[in-house]
């Protein structure tokens, strides 16, 4: 029971599924209206054996082949709408039959002693459509934010874009990591040690040495927030290199799209921090770390494409 309730709650907050239900409900309603053009309602004053005979009767001369086709379509759509009654809480109570799903049981109006009629089906369709609209609005308001890859740091996404869109996720992350490390090397003018060692030396607390400039977080060196950022970058930057760049470069096992996107986002954060740092050399000259010119991604591939696992 808990699993069933959990599934219903998830369905009520899943925008894609709510959109699916709304689309199928629209088709069900329009198909039902066409079905009714071949029938008459046997209800109210002037009806024949109301309550005993079917609530809907075929018209004289109705196209039987078309009616059969419409009946098949309605049954198919009713199957696709099997969760609609639970999701929208639109259902009806029939004496002696209990609670009924009006969509799955739409054909009960064609039976003797009908449990519902065409008006009930129409009314339930309208109510369900309205409730779906409200649930979709609520789902949109509660939806989690998404990371847009093209809005990551341009250095990161420009390096990853083509590989990512071709489905080479690990290679895309490796290329982005290399690009960020390359920017660090360009700023300090060094490429004579391993990347991890260079990140450690770049943010080291020691004063710069000849041929070994440092990267510093901007601001008053005595400010506690500046000290915290500098100390954090000393751990964060080499750590990113060790846990993201190294496995992406040297480990052949692939990973999921979510894993790759999270790693690109982490590299983007590091690249943005790098942009704000200043370069301090041994002669005391301080210069702003200006990010390199990065070409804008091509329009036709400036998006995240979904890769099928397999």
Reported in sequence order, the residue ranges of the chain that DSSP labels E, i.e. its strands, are 39-41, 56-58, 92-94, 98-100, 214-216, 278-280, 286-288
Token pair for residue 216?
């510093």
Q: Tell me the average pLDDT across 139-152.
A: 82
**Does the structure show a pLDDT above 60 at 309?**
no
For the chain, what is the mean pLDDT? 88
Token pair for residue 252?
């052949």
- pLDDT band at residue 187 under the 50/70/90 scheme: very high
Q: What pLDDT score does 307 carry? A: 34
Q: What pLDDT score does 183 carry? A: 96
Q: What pLDDT score does 126 carry? A: 97
Q: Tell me the average pLDDT across 269-275.
A: 97
- pLDDT band at residue 289 under the 50/70/90 scheme: low
Name the residue with higher pLDDT: 305 or 187: 187
**CA 39 to CA 58: how far, in whole Å?**
4
% of the chain with per-residue pLDDT over 70: 88
Q: What pLDDT score does 287 carry? A: 63
pTM of the model as a whole: 0.56
The pLDDT tens digits of the residues spanning 31-69 come to 999 999 999 999 877 778 888 999 999 999 999 999 999
Q: What pLDDT score does 241 carry? A: 96
Residue 103 in contact with residue 84, Cβ under 8 Å? yes
Q: What pLDDT score does 310 carry? A: 30
- pLDDT band at residue 301 under the 50/70/90 scheme: very low
Residue 135 in contact with residue 18, Cβ under 8 Å? yes
Q: Which of 178, 185, 242 is nearest to 215 (CA)?
A: 185
Give the DSSP H or E segment for 231. Answer: helix 224-240
Residue 35 in contact with residue 71, Cβ under 8 Å? yes
Ramachandran angles phi, psi of 54, nearest 5°: -55, 150
Please identify which residue in the block is written with the tokens 């999921």.
256
- pLDDT band at residue 285 under the 50/70/90 scheme: low
Q: What pLDDT score does 298 carry? A: 41
């Amino acid at each position: 029971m808990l699993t069933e309730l959990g599934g219903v709650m998830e369905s009520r907050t899943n925008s894609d599924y709510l959109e699916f239900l709304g689309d199928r409900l629209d088709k069900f309603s329009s198909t039902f209206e066409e079905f009714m053009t071949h029938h008459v309602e046997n209800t109210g004053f002037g009806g024949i054996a109301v309550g005993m005979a079917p609530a809907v009767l075929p018209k004289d001369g109705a196209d039987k082949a078309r009616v059969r086709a419409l009946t098949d379509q309605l049954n198919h759509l009713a199957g696709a709408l099997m969760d609609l009654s639970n999701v929208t809480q639109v259902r009806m109570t029939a004496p002696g039959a209990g609670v009924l799903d009006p969509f799955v049981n739409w054909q009960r109006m064609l039976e003797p002693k009908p449990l519902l009629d065409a008006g009930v089906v129409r009314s339930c369709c309208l109510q369900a459509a309205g409730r779906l609209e409200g649930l979709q609005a609520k789902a949109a308001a509660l939806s989690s934010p998404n990371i847009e890859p093209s809005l990551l740091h341009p250095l990161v996404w420009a390096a990853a874009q083509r590989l990512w869109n071709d489905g080479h996720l690990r290679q895309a992350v490796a290329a982005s990591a290399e690009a960020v490390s390359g920017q660090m090397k360009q700023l300090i003018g060094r490429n004579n040690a391993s990347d991890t060692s260079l990140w450690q030396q770049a943010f080291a607390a020691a004063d710069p040495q000849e041929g070994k400039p440092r990267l510093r977080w901007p601001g008053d060196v005595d400010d506690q927030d500046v000290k915290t950022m500098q100390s954090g970058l000393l751990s964060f930057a080499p750590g990113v290199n060790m846990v993201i760049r190294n496995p992406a470069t040297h480990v052949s096992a692939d990973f999921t799209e979510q894993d790759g996107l999270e790693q690109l986002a982490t590299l983007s954060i590091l690249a943005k921090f790098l942009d704000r740092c200043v370069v301090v050399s041994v002669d005391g000259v301080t210069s702003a770390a200006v990010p390199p010119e990065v070409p804008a991604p091509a329009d036709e591939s400036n998006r995240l494409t979904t890769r099928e696992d397999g």
